[in-house]
Structure 1
C-alpha cells in the first residue's frame, strides 16, 4: 500500500472518507463494543524471529509476555493480568483460606461468618426472604466479589487463548503470530458471549420483563430485591467490564483505528452497569446486557470462520449476525430508549424522590441520566453498523469468488518483512 493511500486512510476528514477504501485497510478492526482485548505478545511453541537490534543491541523483552516472572513480581507489576499461572495462584490463596476457616473457624469464633466467603458467594441476603425463594440486596461486599472475579476473568481469558485456542489454530494451519492472537481472542469471545447470552436469556425468562415488556422496567420500582441468579449474573458482568477497563488502562493491546470508540464504549458501559445497579434498575440493565451479548456471539463465530477461510459458511453466519445485530442492537435499543422517554412515569409516585436509604432514586432528572448513555450506545452501534454493511458487501463478493480483505480480521502487520516465520522459516 502506498504512503499516499495510508495517509488518506489514517486521517479521514469525513465519515465518507473513513468508510472509503476500508476493505484495503489492514489496520482497522470491527469486533463490536464488547470485544475482548488481547496482550501485545504471546508465548508460542513455534520458533519466533530473532530479536530486533537497535544500534547493535537486542531489544528488551516485551513487558506483557504471558510467561510468569514470579508471583510477587507479577503482582507488583500487574502482570497477573496476562500470566495465567500467576492469576491462578492468586485465585487459589483465598480458596485455601476459606477452607481453613470453614474447618477451624466455628470452634474459634462461634457465630462469625466466614470473612472470605464474599469473594466467591453473593452477599447481603434479605433477612425476611423465604428459604425457598431467597432475595438479595446490594452492599459493599459486592465490591469484594467483583474484585475477585476480575482476576477470574483474566485467568479464564488467558487460559483459553493460550492453552486451548492456539493448539486449535495450529490444527487449522494458522501459524502467523498476529492471527494466532486474534483467533484466540475470538474463541474467548464466542465462549464468553455465548455463555452470557444463554444465561441472560434464562434469567430474563423468569422476570416480568420477558420478552422486552418494557413497562415492567418501571412498574413496582424500586426493584432492589434480586433473585440469587440475577445478582450473580449482574456482578459477573460488572467484573468482566472492570477487567476490560484494566486491559485498556495497562495498554495491553495495540491501539487501532477505532480505539477511541472502544474506549468510549467501555466508559458508557461501566456508567450503565454501575448506575443501574446502584439505583436498583437491574431489570432494564439485564435487558441491555442480553441485547449486546447475543449478536456478539455470532460476530465471534463469523470471525473464526474467516480466519480458517470457510468462506461460504462465513457468509451464512455473517448474515445471521447482521440480522441479530439489527434487531438487538438497534431495534430493541430504540424500544428501550422509547420506554425511558415515555414510560418513566409508570414509576410509583412514592418512588419519585431521592431517598437512597430506602432504595429510591427516581427524581425527574434521572430520566435523562438513563436516556443519555443508552442514546450514546446507539450512536456507537450505528458507527459500527456502517462498517458491518461494508463487510456484508465484501462477503457477497467472496461468495461470488472474489476474495476480499475482512476489515474485522485485525491483521495489522504493517509490512510483510516483519511477519513472524513458522518452524520451517517460511512465511505464513
Structure 2
C-alpha cells in the first residue's frame, strides 16, 4: 500500500516541473487531496435532502401544475412468465416466446401482450420524472447563481490567462473551495442514484459524463486547476437548469412553455458548449498554460478529460439539432431527443400504437359491416313485405 501511495502521489504526475508537494503545503490556503473526502458525506446529505425535497415540494408542485400519470393495465397472474421476466429478460426472443407458450398454455399473442403490459408497469410515471427534473433544476439554478456571484469579480472570469498567473502556487478562497466540494458531492450523489433513477436513452453517456466530471473535479482540485475548474462548472450549469425546467413543463403538458424554454436552452447550450467551452476553456488549458509551465502528466490527463466532455457535448448537440429540425418542420417538440424518454419508450409506444391502430381498423370495418348488414336486412324485409302484399292482392276478387 505504501508503494502504491508513493507511486500515485508522485509530484511529477500532479505538479509542473520544479514544484513539490512541500511548496504546496507551505502556501497558505493551499488545496490538499484529503479535502476531497468531505464530498462523500456531502453526497449522502444530497441523497437525503433529495428524498425530503421530492416528498414535500416536488410531488405537491407536480399536482399543482397538473402532472398526470398514465393508467397502466395490470397483467393477469402468470408465475412462469413473471419468473422469466424477473430472472432472465424483459424482452424474450422468438424462440423463448415459443417455449413460454408451451409452458403457460397461452397463445403467442397473449404472451407478447403480457410482456408488453408488464414492461409498461415498470416504466416510471410522469410524477417520478417530474420530481427528478425539479430536483436537478433547483440544484443547477442555485449552483449557477452562486457560482456566477463568486466569479464575476475575479480576474480570471474576464481574462482566462489569469488562471495561470503564478500557477500552481495560487491560494484557494473559501467560497471556491465550497463551490468545488458541493459540485463534487452532487455528482457523487447522481452516480450513486443512477440505478434507481429513470433509465434514459443516453444512459451510458450519462455514466461516462458523471465519472469524467468526478475525475475532472478531483484531479483539478489536487493539481490546483481550481480557477479553470470553476469556469468549467459555471459553463455547464448555465444551460442545465434550462433543460430541467423544460422537462418539468413537458411532464405537466404545458407545451408552449416547454417549447419556449427548450429553444432558449438550445441556444444557450450550443453557444456555451460548442463555442465558449472549446474557445475559452480548452484553448487556455491546451495553449495558454504552456506559456507558464512545461507540459506534464497532469496536463495531458486534465486536457484528455476536457476533450471527453467536449465529445459528449457534440453528441448531445447532434440530438438537440434533431429536435430543432422537428420543431421547425413539424411545428412541435414531440419528445426530448437528449435524455427525456426512457430507452424503451419508443418501442413500447410503437407496439401500443400498432395495437390501437389494429383495434381502430377493426372497429371501422365492424361499423361498415354492421351498416351493410342493416341495409341487407332492411332490403330483405321490404322485399318480403312487397311479396306478401302481392300475394294478398292476387287472392282478392277483382272488382267489376
Instruction: Give the TM-score normalised by structure 2.
Output: 0.62
Q: Higher Cα Rg: structure 1 or 2?
A: 2
CA distance in 2, matches of 1:368, 1:406: 35
Aligned counterpart for 2:40 among listed residues 147, 157, 165: 147
* CA gap 1:333/1:224 in 2 versus in 1, 3 angstroms: same
Q: Which residue of 1 aligns with 2:309?
A: 377
Find the residue that maps to 1:252 and give its secondary structure.
coil
| Unaligned segments of structure 1, at least 5 residues | 1-125, 130-134, 353-362, 419-428
The 1:165/1:127 distance shift into structure 2, 3 A limit, reads: same
Q: Does 1:344 find its partner at 2:344?
A: no
**What is residue 172 of structure 2 aligned with on the other side?**
226
Once superposed, what is the RMSD of the aligned Cα atoms? 2.7
Cα displacement (A) at 1:373:
1.0
Specify the SS of the correspondent of 2:130: helix
Deviation (angstroms), 1:384: 0.8
TM-superposition CA deviations, 1:45-98 (whole Å, max 9, x none): xxxxxxxxxxxxxxxxxxxxxxxxxxxxxxxxxxxxxxxxxxxxxxxxxxxxxx
Alpha-carbon offset, residue 128 of structure 1:
10
Q: Distance in 2 between matches of 1:403 and 1:274?
A: 38
Native 8 Å contact 1:223 1:281 kept in 2: no
CA 1:173 to 1:397, structure 2 compared with 1: closer, same or farther past 3 Å?
Answer: farther
Residue 172 of structure 1: aligned partner = 65
Counterpart of 1:106 in structure 2 is none
The answer to whether structure 1 residue 238 and structure 2 residue 184 are counterparts is yes
Runs of 4+ in 1 over 4 A off after TM superposition: 126-129, 411-418
Q: Deviations over 1:376-406 (max 9, x none)?
A: 11111110111111222333467x4x57234
Maintained 8 Å contact 1:315/1:396: no
TM-superposed CA distance for 1:138, in Å, is: 2.6
Task: Say yes or no: does 1:191 pair with 2:138.
Answer: yes
1:368 to 273, 280, 300: 300
Distance 1:171 1:202 in 2: 32
The equivalent of 2:56 in structure 1 is: 163
Whole-angstrom CA distance in 1 between matches of 2:311 and 2:333: 31
Structure 1 residues 321, 256: closer, same or farther in 2, change over 3 A?
closer
Contact persistence 1:157–1:188 (CA under 8 A): yes
Residue 167 of structure 1 and its aligned partner are, at CA, apart by 1.4
The question of whether the paired residues in 2 share the 8 Å contact of 1:147 and 1:239 is answered with yes
Secondary structure of the corresponding residue to residue 280 of structure 1 = coil
SS in 1 for 2:193: helix
The yes-or-no answer on 1:290 pairing with 2:234 is yes
- Tell me, in whole angstroms, the C-alpha distance in 2 between the residues paired with 1:319 and 1:327: 12
The DSSP-based 3-state class of the residue aligned with 1:210 is helix
Q: Aligned partners of 1:384 and 1:179: how far apart in 2? A: 23
Residue 346 of structure 1 deviates from its aligned partner by: 2.8
Question: 1:244 and 1:376 mapped to 2: Cα distance?
Answer: 19
**Is 1:331 paired with 2:275?**
yes
Partner residue, 2:152? 205
- Residue in 1 that maps onto 2:334: 404
Residue 391 in structure 1 maps to residue 323 in structure 2:
yes
CA distance in 2, matches of 1:127, 1:280: 12
Cα distance in 1 between the residues matched to 2:326 and 2:155: 42
CA–CA separation in structure 1 for the residues paired with 2:232 and 2:170: 18
- Deviation per CA, 1:223-278: give whole Å up to 9, x if none: 54111111111111111112222223xx2235433222111111211121011000
The match for 1:92 is: none
In the comparison of the two structures, how many residue pairs are matched? 270
Q: Deviations over 1:166-224 (max 9, x none)?
A: 1111223323251101101111111000111111111211321123x221121210154
| Contact kept? 2:32, 2:222, Cα under 8 Å | no
Deviation at 1:415, TM superposition (A): 4.8
CA distance in 2, matches of 1:174, 1:322: 24
1:330, CA displacement in angstroms?
Answer: 1.6
Greater helix content? 2
